[in-house]
């Protein structure tokens, strides 16, 4: 087991945090501190939404960890997004729904080389609906492990989430549990596993990104 330290707040959250604190201070100074109370509540929301907590990441190369905090809302067989050009073979897919109360940074489910990053525009249905995987705006990442297994993780925008951030690119190497992106505000993550993988998480279980084990590779 190895522990990967993370900053307290994801870098994408600092502009929101600084602006919110500045607004709260200005309202408190000009109108009175009681009037600034709602803004301070917003500051607390920003802190919890953009938090980037340290996690203890399993080091086994066959382990696939959760790419996001949230509720496992779907476990089924499905084809990977067509824009990746990987064919129509059905493989295990695990979907995690992130509520507004979950941390929203995303982490690499496996370590290896990033083979592809593909963004596709789409709709903004509620991310907990089954059709969100097919219809909503999404960003797909393919990671190949040193053993040659390909794992696909897909960031999916939701009803409120309108901004997908992905900080990795093809050719880059990532470690399991590395932070690589974020979605504002509320979202869904789909993980597609190679055929023959053993799914270890259960429907309705709450996952912690980079720490909860989703599956074991063949």
Report, as residue numbers or ranges, the catalytic residues: 187
- Say how far apart CA 175 and CA 109 lie, in whole Å: 9
Closest CA to 102 of 129, 69, 66: 69
The total of other beta-carbon atoms located within 10 Å of residue 2's CB is 10
β 213-216/112-120 pair status: unpaired
The distance from CA 161 to its chain's CA centroid, rounded to whole angstroms, is: 12
> What residues contact 140, with CB distance under 8 A and at least 6 apart?
80, 81, 83, 84, 116, 117, 118, 119, 120, 152, 153, 154, 155
Closest CA to 183 of 168, 159, 162: 162
Q: Is the peptide bond before 185 cis (omega within 30 degrees of 0)?
A: yes
Contact 177, 210 (CB under 8 A): yes
């Amino acid at each position: 087991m190895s522990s990967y330290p993370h900053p307290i707040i994801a870098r994408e959250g600092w502009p929101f945090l600084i602006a919110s604190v500045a607004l709260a201070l200005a309202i408190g100074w000009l109108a009175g501190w009681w009037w600034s109370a709602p803004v301070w509540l917003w500051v607390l929301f920003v802190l919890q939404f953009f938090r980037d907590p340290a996690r203890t990441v399993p080091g086994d190369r066959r382990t696939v960890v959760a790419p996001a905090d949230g509720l496992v809302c779907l476990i089924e067989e499905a084809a990977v997004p067509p824009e990746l050009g990987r064919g129509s073979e059905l493989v295990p897919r695990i979907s995690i729904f992130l509520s507004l109360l979950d941390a929203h940074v995303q982490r690499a489910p496996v370590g290896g080389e990033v083979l592809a990053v593909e963004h596709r525009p789409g709709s903004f249905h509620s991310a907990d609906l089954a059709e969100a995987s097919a219809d909503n705006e999404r960003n797909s990442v393919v990671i190949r492990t040193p053993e040659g297994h390909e794992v696909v993780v897909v960031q999916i925008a939701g009803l409120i989430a309108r901004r997908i951030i992905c900080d990795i690119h093809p050719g880059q190497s990532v470690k399991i549990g590395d932070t690589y992106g974020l979605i504002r505000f509320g979202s869904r993550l789909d993980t597609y596993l190679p055929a023959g993988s053993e799914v270890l998480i259960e429907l309705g279980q709450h996952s912690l990104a980079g720490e909860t084990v989703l599956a074991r590779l063949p």
